[in-house]
Amino acid sequence: MKKMRAGIIGIGFIGVAHIEALRRLGYVDVVAIATTSHAQEKADGLYVPKGYEDYKEMIDNEELDCVHICTPNSMHYEMAMYAMKKGVHIICEKPMTVTLQQAKELRDYAKEKGLIGAVNFTLRMYPQVVQMREMVKSGEVGNIFSVHGVYLQDWLFFDTDWSWRLEPELSGDTRAMSDIGSHWIDMVETIIGQKTTEVFADFETFHKTRKKPLKEVATYSGMALRPEDYEETEINTEDYCSLLFHFDGGAKAAVTISQVYAGRKNQQIISISGSKCSLHWDSEDSNELWIGRRDSFNQKAAKDPSILADEAKKVIGYPGGHVEGYPDTFKQNFHKVYTAIREGQNVQGDFATFEDGYREMLINEKVFESAKTRQWVCVQE
């Protein structure tokens, strides 16, 4: 079988994760990367044949099947549009864009041209998340009463922690919500098969100012700064938010999202209460799913392809007892997207598309509006 050709724009934290996951697929060659400086040197370091300092040149020269956009959020729109105009399929990091209008344009253009536009909401590919989705779909959980949970991180805990994500012109108007809350609500809508109709949001920025380094800092680098290395900078996006959701099928949800929660590195919890049983999943123990019952024993379902639902089996690469995690969700997501690319435009997998990316931007926008107005806001255009 002919191998497919991928190009990666941006090789920070997540661009490198994309390269690793693609290599594990075996049928995709990462033929080039694009990054702003020392591109060929960085390509050599990653064992990628070609490095470009201009992403347009990479797209023009490399006959790519798919381009992966792994740069700060504000750049996604321009890069995705350029690639699509050259007929290249896209895997775009989340959040899809920084405005709803940009997301709408990308979604509509991909649809018009029959291109695959995927948004990298990979967490929905955890086997136990798919298992929850399948249990809800089969009726095993009953009517969904409520969902609650968290998405917690601590990498912005200190006021000396800095990232481009703290700059709205690069990251967008919301931060904790769009950066990590977007994953949580994408998973919940996917699992329960219901769409958000209304949101209520409470935002807080605990660090009103932060120490912005006067030199470049990579994501998650945890670099210590001296006073001469930074300037005190006002922060305009939220460290924390608590959100309430109403869904079109009658379910309700509550979540707390924080990037300043000491000790929690990257924890997602989803707890679902249904009329027949409850489900509880914690990303820190991602290979297990707790099933709670009133009239019988509670259960723990292990990530074991011999016992889980058929759709969950499809995103499992190893037998039971062999732990899989975050990097595997990338591999599974890319497998579904590249299969859709290879098999033609009419094949839709259960990966997140530009339609889902657009929807998530719509929720972001309404969450932001609710935080500003302190009122419930309807999720519609």
Ligand X SMILES: NC(=O)c1ccc[n+]([C@@H]2O[C@H](COP(=O)([O-])OP(=O)(O)OC[C@H]3O[C@@H](n4cnc5c(N)ncnc54)[C@H](O)[C@@H]3O)[C@@H](O)[C@H]2O)c1
The site for ligand X (CB under 6 A) is made up of 9-15, 34-36, 55, 70-73, 75, 93-94, 120, 122, 164, 179, 218-219
**Smallest separation, CB 12 to ligand X (Å):** 2
Distance CA 364, CA 199 (A): 10
353 DSSP 8-state letter:
B
What is d(CA 21, CA 327) in angstroms, rounded to the nearest whole number?
A: 7
Q: Which residue is nearest to ligand X (CB)?
A: 12
Alpha-carbon distance values, 123 to 115, 209, 225, 279 (Å): 23, 31, 33, 17
CA 175/CA 168 separation, integer angstroms: 8
Nearer to ligand X, 80 or 371 (CB): 80
Give whichever of 287 and 329 is closer to ligand X, judged by the CB atom. Answer: 329
**352 φ, ψ to 5°?**
-75, 130
Phi then psi for residue 186, to 5 deg, are -60, -45
Q: Rounded to an integer, what distance in angstroms lies between the CA atom of residue 42 and that of residue 63? A: 21
Shortest distance (Å) from residue 216 CB to ligand X = 8
Q: Name the nearest CA neighbour of 92 among 58, 66, 59.
A: 66
**Smallest distance, Å, CB 70 to ligand X?**
5
Please identify which residue in the block is written with the tokens 């006073």. Answer: 227
Q: In the bound complex, what is the minimum distance in angstroms from residue 164's beta carbon to ligand X?
A: 6
Residue 71 or 278 having the CB closest to ligand X: 71
Q: Which is nearer to ligand X, 9 or 185 (CB)?
A: 9
Nearer to ligand X, 73 or 196 (CB): 73
CA–CA distance, 5 with 345 (Å, rounded to integer): 17
Give the residue with the Cβ less far from ligand X, 37 or 296: 37
- Both structure tokens of 82: 């350029």
